[in-house]
Amino acid sequence: MLKFCVALTMVLAALADIESAGAQRLRGRLLDLDTDQPLVAGLLTLMTADRASLITAVTDTGGHWEFEVPAAGAYFIAARRLGYQPWLAGPVEASADADLDFVFHLRRLPVELKPVEVSAEAVRRYLASTGFYDRQRADFGFFLTPERIERRQASRITDLLTGLPGVRLITPSVGSAGPRSVQLRGSNLSQGTICRPRVYVDGILYAQGDASPRALREGTPETERAAEQIRRMEQGVSLDDIGHPSTIAAIEIYRSATQVPVQFGGTSVETLCGVIVVWTRSGTMRSSTTDPD
């Protein structure tokens, strides 16, 4: 029995040494190319030499990210963020005895505005295909149409929401950093703090909001890491990061879970903070390239 315990201890020690030897770290920062400011909620993906994705990390408020690579070898690192041109770095050689630091800069995507007389009909057709006008006729929620967005001449997306019934804009106090947050009147969380709504952009989930799915609250290490990653990602996320108001086709605002359509989560624990759905003109252009008409 003693020999077995000694042998088992040696095996566990050897496995620990192997795991330690294979735990190289790649870390760094993601910055704006023009301003050198940190990019929050950027996505960094570690890829194998044949471009298969392994791990994805999310930058924090300082633009920091970090990977623990599985073994020494050659890797690529893909960096991307909404509103910026993606970047691919590599191959990067990760050795067994060194941690590597990088600084990546992303260039902003230029805003390409289409002439209104050319794109207006395309926008209407796009919104009709997404069910926007059907949901508007159902009279649940609040709807900002293309015409209303154009009339407001706003400088930020959150400015489009100013004065809307049931919408509260939370501005950082003087001297503090951070984006504007949105809180909807019908939202319901017991913590008593700001309850950020779930946000969709062109039908794709953009921000989880504060009413996270039950699966992320079960307490397992995996789900806790997932919840922490989402929390870090959304600390600095704002509706204003989506783009300039001139790039927005329409907005849907559902101030409580009881108003939310099924395709955006319906009445559930995930939508307790409400839902905002943003439709962009770039989505309109993508749709027109596949329209058979």
Superfamily, domain 116-290: TonB-dependent receptor, plug domain (2.170.130.10)
Under 8 Å between Cβ of 24 and 69? yes
Express as a percent the part of the chain with pLDDT over 70.
69
The Cα 124–Cα 249 span in angstroms is 9
The Cα 231–Cα 233 span in angstroms is 5
DSSP track, 53-67 = EEEEEE--TT-EEEE
Sheet holding 204-207, edge to edge: 142-144, 248-254, 275-280, 198-201, 204-207
CA 224 to chain centre: 18
pLDDT of residue 14: 42
Ranges for all domains in the chain classified under CATH 2.170.130.10: 116-290
In the predicted model, residues of the chain with pLDDT beneath 70 are: 1-23, 96-98, 110-119, 172-179, 186-194, 212-237, 284-293
Report the SS3 class of residue 223.
helix
Q: Is the peptide bond before 91 cis (omega within 30 degrees of 0)?
A: yes
Ranges for all domains in the chain classified under CATH 2.60.40.10: 2-106
pLDDT of residue 252: 95
Which of the four CATH numbers 2.102.10.10, 3.40.50.2300, 2.60.40.10, 2.40.30.10 does domain 2-106 have? Answer: 2.60.40.10
pLDDT of residue 272: 85
| Residue 150, both tokens | 């154009």
Q: What is the pLDDT of residues 239-281, one digit of tens each?
A: 888 888 888 999 999 988 888 999 898 888 888 888 999 998 8
pLDDT of residue 275: 92
pLDDT of residue 134: 93
| DSSP single-letter state for residue 267 | S
Torsion angle, alpha carbons of 93, 94, 97, 101, to 10: 100
| 173 C-beta neighbours (distance < 10 Å), count | 7
Long-range contacts of 107-115 (CB under 8 A, 24+ apart): 107/33, 107/34, 108/32, 108/33, 108/34, 108/83, 108/84, 109/83, 109/84, 109/85, 111/243, 111/244, 111/246, 111/247, 113/246, 113/247, 114/281, 114/285
User: For the chain, where are the E strands, in sequence order?
Assistant: 24-32, 43-47, 53-58, 64-69, 73-80, 87-94, 100-106, 142-144, 167-170, 181-184, 198-201, 204-207, 248-254, 275-280
pLDDT of residue 15: 40
pTM above 0.75?
A: no
